[in-house]
Structure formats: C-alpha cells, structure tokens
Amino acid sequence: MSKGEISEFVADLERQGGEPLPDARLVYKTYGALNEDHSNAILFPTRFGGTHEQNEFMIGQGHALDPERYFIIVPNMFGNGVSSSPTNAPAPYGGGGFPDITIYDNVRQQYRLVTDVLGIERFAMAVGWSMGAQQAFQWASLYPDTVPRLACLCGTAKTTDHNRVFLESLRAAIEADSLYQGGHYNAPPLGGLRAVGRIYAGWAYSQDWYRAKGYRALGYETFDDYITGYWDALYKERDANNIMAMTWTWIHNDISANDRFGGDLGAALGAITAKTVLMPCMTDLYFRTADSEDELQHLQSGRLLEIPSIWGHMSAAGQNEPDTQFIDQVLKDLLAS
C-alpha cells in the first residue's frame, strides 16, 4: 500500500557530536487520520537502507497497522537518502561533508515533529525493525509518557561488539575502494559497494536459510543468480556516503549515551514504562536473543517473543509471509492490551 501523505519538517538539527545541521529535512509519511483526542498514533521509524516505502508492507487494512483505525507516522532516518543525507544535503554538508548523527539526535528531532507539528502527546505504540527498533527504544526511554506500548523487532538498545564488527567490515570494504576518496567521490565506488552487498549477504539470512536454499523463495534458482541478482544489484544503486552515515549512526547506537543516562544502560532501559515486546529472530546472526534477554531484565513491563524462523534478520523484512503474519498478530495483541 502506498496511499498516504508525504510531508517534511525542516528545522536545525541539534547534534550530540557538534554544531547543528541547519535546515535539516525530516521527511515523513503518514497513513490514516489522527483521531479527535489524538490517541491513535503509531510511530514506525525506518531501518538501515530503507525509506518509508520499505515499511509499507506492514501497513494496510487487516494489519495491526491499519490506517482505517490508526494514524501511522513513518519518519525517515537521517542519512537514508530521503531525509537529510549525504546524497541530498546542500554544501558544505553533502557527500563526504555530512555530519555524524546519532539515534538520539534522530529521536529528539522526531519528538519536535510529533509534539510541535502533529500535536501528539502520546502514541498508541512505537514499533521498529532493526535500526527502526533502535529509534523506538530511544523514544520509549527518553519519552516514556509518550510511548505506552513498544515493539522492538530484531534490534537492540545498544550496539553490541559483535554487531559492530560486522559494521566495521562494511565500512572497511568501502574504504578499500580508492574511488571512495574519503567520501569525496565523483564516480561511485562500485567495487566497495559490491563487497558491502556480499558481506551483508552472509549476515542478513541465517545458515539454515542458505541450507534450505531460501533464495529460491526470493525467485532465484541458483546461489549465483541470487548473489548477483539480489545483492550486487541492490548495492550497485546505493550510495557509499549514505551507507557510511547510517553505519556510523548504527555503531554509536546506545540509548544511554546522553546526558539523561550518562552511559548507564540499565537505567535507560529501566526508564521505559511501556508494555514492551522484544522480538529477536531465533536465527538472526547479529541481533541475538541473548542480547534481548539481557535487556529484558531491566524492563519494567517487558516480555520476549522469538520470531520462529530461518529467515534470520530478514524475518521482519516482509519477505516471508508466515513471519509477517506472526509479527502482525503480536502487534495486534500488544495494541489490544
């Protein structure tokens, strides 16, 4: 479904790391209508490499995120190519000059949009997948009164070492391409992007998925067709600086890395009052159930439900209908609770 309204919130973006980014564009799409008492809003931030479009498989009649019933807000994360990003920021902020932006920076700006522009004091729910889950976590920790329900799919409140090593390898692959030139390239560093896609391929899906030749369900007959037709093709079109911006954000994800919590992750998690569902996938290679279990101990009202799938991290990407239905039902139950 693509019906909805695309708007933008333009304002200076305060950054934890330094000077504000002036006139930052926070592009968001909304689905459905806000009800009279402003109580039916759902926040659904975007994930790495995704825009509002990649969230739309979860939105529609019959889904938990039903625009007939809810007002669904999808803010595009900075760096994703739609909101202010290396690919669209004016000089001197475009390309290799794009500033470092944290999850905290993203969420604080989203808060201004939600409260000042949209006039919402309290969501029905915040939900996100992967980097979207990071934003949802940060929201619930910073603004507990705004987030009564929280669903985090395949994402953690703080990036783990093992997750980081994956991200460092993506960045090293781009930096290995001499066309990259520290971000000041004229032609895209296609070799680096190809390597990024092929690294990602080994993490996004599980070993069991490969053993079951899961790529056939994506329409590829052979492993080689899949690698070239899916990953090479996908990353050839992506922008290296956007990837560098988003991986920087991801690496530095830590909902406690701010003045409020001073690095105390337990306190930042403990501040969450939302009814929370943590949903790691049992075969996710970088967001592990064990990580979610650690988080769960600090939550006031949390539970953990594994996504029972061999689709690994991609179980929540809308590629496998049984997983999508499983998640949808959990969200329906959470909204009804």
Q: Interface residues with a second copy (CB under 8 A)?
A: 160-162, 164-166, 168-169, 172-179, 189, 191-192, 194-195, 198-199, 201-203, 206-211, 213, 223, 227, 285-286, 288, 290-291
Q: Minimal distance in Å, beta carbon 54 to a second copy? A: 22
Q: What whole-number distance in Å separates Cα of residue 303 and Cα of residue 279?
A: 9
What CA–CA distances, in Å, run from 16 to 108, 125, 142, 252?
A: 11, 26, 15, 11
If the CB atoms of residues 77 and 193 are measured against a second copy, the closer one turns out to be 193
The active-site residue out of 130, 141, 206, 292 is: 130
Q: Minimal distance in Å, beta carbon 106 to a second copy? A: 24
Q: What share of the chain is helix, strand, coil (3-state, %, to 5)?
A: 45, 15, 40
The active-site residue out of 52, 63, 252, 313 is: 313
- In angstroms and rounded to an integer, the radius of gyration of the C-alpha atoms of the chain is 19
Q: Check if the beta carbon of residue 163 is closer than 8 Å to that of residue 133.
A: no
Instruction: Give the CA dihedral 60, 64, 65, 66, nearest 10 degrees.
Output: 50
Q: Minimal distance in Å, beta carbon 203 to a second copy? A: 8
Q: Minimal distance in Å, beta carbon 96 to a second copy? A: 16
Q: Minimal distance in Å, beta carbon 192 to a second copy? A: 5
Measuring CA to CA, which residue among 114, 129, 298, 293 is closest to residue 204? 129
Q: Minimal distance in Å, beta carbon 101 to a second copy? A: 21
If the CB atoms of residues 184 and 213 are measured against a second copy, the closer one turns out to be 213
Is residue 284 annotated as a catalytic residue, yes or no?
yes
If the CB atoms of residues 1 and 233 are measured against a second copy, the closer one turns out to be 233
DSSP β-ladder status, 41-43 and 125-129: parallel
Q: Check if the beta carbon of residue 141 is closer than 8 Å to that of residue 268.
A: yes
The active-site residue out of 284, 292, 309, 315 is: 284
Is residue 130 annotated as a catalytic residue, yes or no?
yes
- Environment class of 332 (CB within 10 Å of its CB; exposed 0-12, middle 13-18, buried 19+): middle
Tokens 């049992």 correspond to 282
If the CB atoms of residues 34 and 282 are measured against a second copy, the closer one turns out to be 282
* DSSP per residue, 42-102: EE----TT--HHHHGGGBSTTSSB-TTT-EEEEEPPTTSSSSS-TTTPPTTSSGGGPPP--
The CB density around residue 208, as the number of other CB atoms within 10 Å, is 14
If the CB atoms of residues 84 and 163 are measured against a second copy, the closer one turns out to be 163
If the CB atoms of residues 223 and 322 are measured against a second copy, the closer one turns out to be 223
The catalytic residue positions are 130, 284, 313
